[in-house]
Amino acid sequence: METNTNSVKEKISTYISTQLLKNKNVGTVLETTPLITGGLMDSISTMQLVTFLEKEFHIEFEAHEVDKDNFDSINIITQFVENKLK
Amino acid sequence: MQNTLNTLFAKSVSQFALHIAIEDLSGNKMTYAQLHTKSVKLSDLLNSKKIGAGCRIGILSSKNTDYVACVFSILNLNAAYVPMDINAPEVRIKTMMDDCDMQGLFVETSMIRNYSFLSENTRHYTTEKISDVMSLVVFTKVSVLHKELLAYILYTSGSTGIPKGVMHTHESALAFINWSIKKFKPTTSDTFVSHAPFHFDLSIFDLYVSIGIGATLVLIDDKTASNPLELAHQLTLHRINYLYATPSTLVYLSNFGKLHKHSYETLRVVLFAGEVFPVEQLKLLKAQLPHTVFYNLYGPTETNVCTYYKVPKRIANTQLQPYPIGKPCTFADTYINEEGELWVSGKSLMTGYWNDCSKTEQAMCKDEKGVVWYKTGDLVSVTSDNNLVYTGRKDRMIKRNGFRIELGEIESVVSKNVTILQIAATSSSLNGQTDNLITIHVTPATGRVVTELELYQYCRKNLPPYMIPDRIQFYDKLPVTSTNKIDYKKLSLVHD
């Protein structure tokens, strides 16, 4: 399943750096960079990410799952999406 | 007609004692009788601390049912409440507290440790718990009593770096509240929602129209307010009838709230204010909420709402421009000066900025008949059917989610950082979006090295979240015009 994880992570990472943060000059975003608590993403970009993830991976988020705890880094988001895909 | 906000409340208490006045999302509810009892008890406590008429008392708390009891306990005493932004950095909160010379502060107990000025061991104040969630801090100092009977002070961005305290009286608030009750005809069986934070002037409608007619107000906490899926769910769950929010919030709800999943038949009226609502987005929301009537309300914090426009049932395909801000409310008069700037007069006007005569004199003037006008700084035009249309700003103020931002305030705050020699802030809006991107352009002080990360951290420590720049650009020297002033035009080209 290693390749699968990498492709999920890569898609998420690409979307975040090329779409969500394209207007901000924030430097390199690492897999562990805090996105929400670090101030890189706000509630609007979080919802844009939710919409992207739902379409890309054919999953659906419950209202309470849209929480900064589930979106704070590329690693955390990847893990959350993979749990949904299981 | 009631002449103070607390007599308006008292009337509802006497008529609808057992109605639910307020409830929060955790299931806490208070009837009008309970809210009254609690607020009287708190008034007595304040009184025993020698806090009363003419004083200013801050409230620093997330939304909860006790918050509303604190508001009325202050109003009961003819004192003014000062709602504070819990997301603002400590320095900004302290600046406002010092500025308005607060005698007391209701604070959410769990937040006390976040503020060094409340957790020091000094004799400058005493703290006591007043409920499960709230505490009262009393400052042991002699403060000035204000001669006018103010109801509340709302702080808004100030271009010199210090927020301005907009002073409102019971009369100025009631001019708008009484008009709203007549205009929108809510009933005591209706449910209102408090979405905007209490330090934002949209809350004046939520609180006093709902409580003034004996209806129920549902308090939306910060976390839910920024989660459109949860907000959409709560609006149906509580069968909300009146929603007042910024276009940014409504667009966000429309785009991400999955509104098709629920029915919103009870949502009779949606009011929006604070910024321009792009027509395409409004069309989309109207299609999602077919039973709802929409109104565009307009008015700076200084005037309360002073003009309104009812959005037509069907939006014509030819409507490409945003709708007008409309015509003056019955209590207001408008005038457009030769530069196209909108001036407003009438009972809903603030009395001035707290402790700042020069800013008050700049913003307000008296005509030959003695009528006081507030100069909004908003540029308007007039349609053939006499509706006012917002066309832009006279100065450098911008809006984000309805919050006012003076770019000068960002510049003033960042310039205090010792590593910075020069700073200029510019804004640009993305195509079709209401939001503004803020860029700061900086040159480091001689011999100083400053990184983007350090500067972002500094901004987060000193500015409220909605004022934090999106981009930082470094320069050896900022471009200047032929008269040696910072060339903002040139800098704003960097956005593109």
Residue B252's closest chain A neighbor by CA?
Answer: A44
Q: What is the reported pLDDT for A22? A: 77
A40/chain B closest Cα distance in angstroms: 9
Record: contact A24-B470, CB cut-off 8 A: yes
Record: contact A39-B460, CB cut-off 8 A: yes
Partners of B435 on chain A (C-beta within 8 Å) are 44
At residue B433 the predicted structure's pLDDT band, cuts being 50, 70 and 90, is: low
Q: What is the reported pLDDT for B188? A: 97
Q: What is the mean pLDDT of residues B69-74?
A: 98
Q: How many CA atoms lie within 13 A of B172 on its CB side?
A: 25
* Chain B touched by A62 (CB under 8 Å): yes
ipTM of the complex: 0.84
Q: What is the reported pLDDT for B2? A: 66
Record: contact A47-B252, CB cut-off 8 A: yes
Q: Residue B21 has which token pair?
A: 């006045």
A23 → closest Cβ in B256, B468, B470: B470
Which of A40, A44, A49, A62 to mutate against chain B (most B CBs within 10 Å)?
A: A44
For B:181-240, CB contacts with A below 8 A are 226-230, 232-233
Separation between Cα atoms, residue A42 and residue B34, nearest integer Å? 38
pLDDT at residue B289 tops 70: yes
At residue B301 the predicted structure's pLDDT band, cuts being 50, 70 and 90, is: very high
* Chain A touched by B437 (CB under 8 Å): yes
Q: What is the reported pLDDT for B453? A: 84
Hunting for tokens 């720049």 — which residue is that? B469
pLDDT digits (tens, 9 = 90+) for B101-148: 999 999 999 999 999 988 877 778 999 999 999 999 999 877 778 878
Overall pTM surpassing 0.90 (yes/no): yes
> What percentage of chain B has pLDDT greater than the value 90?
82
pLDDT at residue B495 tops 70: no
**B192 burial level (CB within 10 Å; 0-12, 13-18, 19+):** buried
Separation between Cα atoms, residue B391 and residue B399, nearest integer Å? 14
The one-character DSSP state at B160 is T
pLDDT digits (tens, 9 = 90+) for B135-191: 999 998 777 788 788 999 999 998 888 899 999 999 999 999 999 999 999 999 999
Hunting for tokens 């499960």 — which residue is that? B132
Containing B412, the helix (H) or strand (E) segment is: helix B407-415
Q: Between A and B, how many residue pairs show a Cβ–Cβ distance under 8 A? A: 40
Q: Residue B42 has which token pair?
A: 């708190």
Q: What is the mean pLDDT of residues B60-71?
A: 97
B41: Cβ contacts below 8 Å, ≥ 6 apart: B73
* Chain B touched by A30 (CB under 8 Å): no
Partners of B252 on chain A (C-beta within 8 Å) are 43-44, 47
pLDDT digits (tens, 9 = 90+) for B373-401: 999 999 999 999 999 999 999 999 999 88
Q: Residue B466 has which token pair?
A: 């909605």
Q: In this structure, how many other beta carbons lie within 10 angstroms of the beta carbon of residue B351?
A: 18
Residues of chain A with pLDDT under 70: 1-3, 23-27
Paired with B328 in beta bridges are B307
Q: With beta carbons less than 8 A apart as the criterion, state whether B86 and B60 touch.
A: yes
Q: State the angle between helix axes of B228-237 and B247-256 in degrees (0 to 180), rounded to the nearest 10.
A: 90
Record: contact B430-A23, CB cut-off 8 A: yes
Q: What is the reported pLDDT for B484? A: 84
Q: What is the reported pLDDT for A2? A: 47
At residue B93 the predicted structure's pLDDT band, cuts being 50, 70 and 90, is: very high
* Chain A touched by B335 (CB under 8 Å): no
* Chain B touched by A28 (CB under 8 Å): no
* Chain B touched by A23 (CB under 8 Å): yes
Q: Residue B446 has which token pair?
A: 């001689």
Q: What is the reported pLDDT for B267? A: 97
Record: contact A39-B468, CB cut-off 8 A: yes
A47 → closest Cβ in B228, B233, B453: B228
CA–chain centroid gap for B38, Å, is: 26
B474: Cβ contacts below 8 Å, ≥ 6 apart: B442, B443, B444
Q: What is the reported pLDDT for B447? A: 85
pLDDT at residue B470 tops 70: yes
pLDDT at residue B434 tops 80: no
pLDDT at residue B202 tops 50: yes
Residue A52's closest chain B neighbor by CA?
Answer: B256
A24/chain B closest Cα distance in angstroms: 5
Residue B222's closest chain A neighbor by CA?
Answer: A43
Separation between Cα atoms, residue B411 and residue B430, nearest integer Å? 22
Q: With beta carbons less than 8 A apart as the criterion, state whether B390 and B380 touch.
A: yes
SS3 of chain B: helix, strand, coil, percent, to 5: 30, 30, 40
Separation between Cα atoms, residue B108 and residue B95, nearest integer Å? 19
B91/chain A closest Cα distance in angstroms: 19
Separation between Cα atoms, residue B273 and residue B281, nearest integer Å? 15
B279: Cβ contacts below 8 Å, ≥ 6 apart: B315, B319, B320, B321, B322, B323
Containing B177, the helix (H) or strand (E) segment is: helix B170-184
A77: Cβ contacts below 8 Å, ≥ 6 apart: A12, A49, A53, A70, A71
**B140 burial level (CB within 10 Å; 0-12, 13-18, 19+):** exposed
Separation between Cα atoms, residue B496 and residue B461, nearest integer Å? 29
Separation between Cα atoms, residue B141 and residue B263, nearest integer Å? 54
3-state secondary structure of B68: helix
- Which of the pair, B150 or B432, is modelled with greater confidence? B150
